[in-house]
Structure 1
Amino acid sequence: MLGLDRSKSAELDPHVQASLSVRSGTRTDEMREKRAEGQRRAHEREMVRCAARRGVVFGFLVDGRDERRKCEAVMQGKVVEPSYAKGDWAVRWRED
């Protein structure tokens, strides 16, 4: 991107420019911790969703019995396949 007396060598990579835009060195540790916390929460949320999908497909052991109780994925009031369930969805016991 050239223009207004800028040479190509004077431009920085956007990632480098963003990392240099932090005003003080003390904010980087706070930002790093906040980002790590967000990533941890996202990972936990994804693990819960994976467990719910497995529960829909294979069922859950209930009250120490050997048989598994099946459930179904519900999205906007309709039963959907667990692989299709995206965004806000829930699990409910299947009525056999």
Structure 2
Amino acid sequence: MNTAFQPSGNEVKRAAFSDHRRSGKLSASRGLVTASLVSKGPMTRNQLADATGLPLASICGRCRELLDMDYIEVAGMSADSPARQVLGLTESGKALAVEAAKGVAS
């Protein structure tokens, strides 16, 4: 089998991520995460997955992006065993959530 014209695994992943981002689902997922943190307060990634209905893998990716953009922060550790990071909104994350809510309301 000639694989000279087959894309690599990384190329396929990048293309899929780009398609996902262009579809708007990525922004919608981030919105679900921030909305859950606004309504229910700081939560672990597992709790966010339960609250939003998104797969844990999606939650972890969106949380990483939101952490990198300084919209959420590690607010502490859960008392569970094993301990998990509890994530909460930063001031810029709260402002983002308020702006998003205004956009939805109008």
Same-fold call, TM > 0.5? Answer: no
Flag the structure with larger Rg: 1
What TM-score, normalized by structure 1, do the two folds share? 0.28
- Quick one: higher RCO (CA 8 Å, sep 6+), 1 or 2? 2
More helix by share: 2
What TM-score, normalized by structure 2, do the two folds share? 0.27
